[in-house]
Amino acid sequence: MISTELLDRLANTGAGVTRPAGSTVPDGLFPDWVVEPESLAQLTTLVRILHNNGVDWRVDARGRNWGYDDSRVREPGLIVRLARLDRLDLDVELGLATVQPGVTFAQLDEALQAADARYYLPPPGSGPHTSVLGNALERGLLAGLGERERHCRDFLVLHRDGQLTRMGWDDAADDRVRRALPYPPGPHLQGSLFQTAGYGPVVVELTHVLPVATVQTAEPVLLAGAELTEELLRCWRDLLLGELVTSTILISPARRRAQGITVSYDGLVLNLYIAASSAAMLRAKVVDVQRLARQHGQRLAARFAGSHDDLSILGGDRNHPEAVGQLPEGLEWQTAALPFVPSLVAAFARAVRTDPVLADIPWTLRPLDARALVWLAPIVYRKDDPDSVALLRRRVAAVARLRDEFAVPAYRSGAVRGDR
């Protein structure tokens, strides 16, 4: 329990001190308080107060991990929320955006349009209201292998005692940053140097290298057959490492059906997004993609149309995903991040498909840095139906058993639930 005297000291820094509004994530404890500083000076002052008084705290950017509200702590304590730290600086000549954690994708997009800049930032699956900094560091923006290494530069880091350190990332041989990334991208409570949702040092400012906006794009799909094969994974990895595709996602038939996408092809589909600065370059990239697909025995086809928004399955809105927590149906997701080794990923996929509790679960596969993220979702259940909730728990336990079997480190899962 935090004393009234300590709360007064925190409030006297100028930071907002409020009670948490709730959480859709079931794990952990509700924090005693949420503290929101408005400046780096306020942040460093209040962090020193917390450090000197031995108060347990974690930090988040906007409280919207994976797009849902997440106000939980692992030990009794509080959350320091950085949503009010929203300074944004653009260098439209060099294509650099320096952002604090409170800057959203919508704000950055508006700033780029206002500056008539030739740069852009790909939107995340978590929605336009989420943190650019948090997504870039924790999720890698889900745009391909090495995304963080290519686009994140010049970090301003806050240590737990309130000290600030500027730490650049300008040398390909510099392993300091990679050693500071012990966990896969994604929100979780373990914490590391580059986790805005963690308990370690905190990045409070990031310079992001913006990609040049392209008007020449192609979006073919690779028809991947009925099962995930090692040859498909090798083809996929070659496409990514050769930088022939900008973003990709492998979708199972069950996931397409859950999202209401109806096509005659009833197999795995690898969506490819190819971008180039000119029509000639785009044609050359498409030819290279076709050649590589043939070498691996894969087939390309025209792009399948359809929405890829899981929230719409429950009648929700991706721009306001927290509202889904009030609906009668809940949505669970479970993830596992494996090394992008074809034999290992294919074996994990077979284990999911042959488990009687998981066989009908929709799933996707996305690359994250040097790993492959297996995303089991959406697992839909009725909150007021004991049998439906019991099945959900058996499925969660089955995923945990698979993680143990494949020695996959614990990775964050989540849900949109009604126990707020």
> CB neighbours (10 Å) of residue 12?
12
Strand arrangement of the beta sheet that strand 78-81 belongs to? 16-18, 33-36, 78-81, 57-60
Rounded-to-integer distance, Cα 288 and Cα 67, Å: 35
How much of the chain, in percent, has pLDDT values that exceed 90?
35
Rounded-to-integer distance, Cα 330 and Cα 361, Å: 15
Q: Where is average pLDDT lowest: 45-54, 115-124, 302-311? A: 302-311
Note the pLDDT of residue 263: 79
Place of tokens 């600030």: 164
Q: What six digits make up the tokens of 402? A: 């698979």
Find, among 351, 202, 362, the residue nearest to 269 by Cα.
362
Rounded-to-integer distance, Cα 249 and Cα 17, Å: 41
How much of the chain, in percent, has pLDDT values that exceed 70?
77
Note the pLDDT of residue 394: 93
pTM: 0.76
Q: Please, which residues have CB within 8 angstroms of residue 129's CB and are 6 or more apart in sequence?
A: 62, 64, 67, 104, 105, 106, 319, 320
What is the chain's mean pLDDT, rounded? 80
Note the pLDDT tens digit of each residue in 252-294.
888 888 877 877 888 999 989 898 888 899 999 999 999 999 9
Note the pLDDT tens digit of each residue in 163-202.
888 876 555 434 544 444 444 433 333 333 334 445 667 8
Rounded-to-integer distance, Cα 134 and Cα 61, Å: 6
Note the pLDDT of residue 417: 42
φ, ψ for residue 271 (rounded to 5)? -75, 130
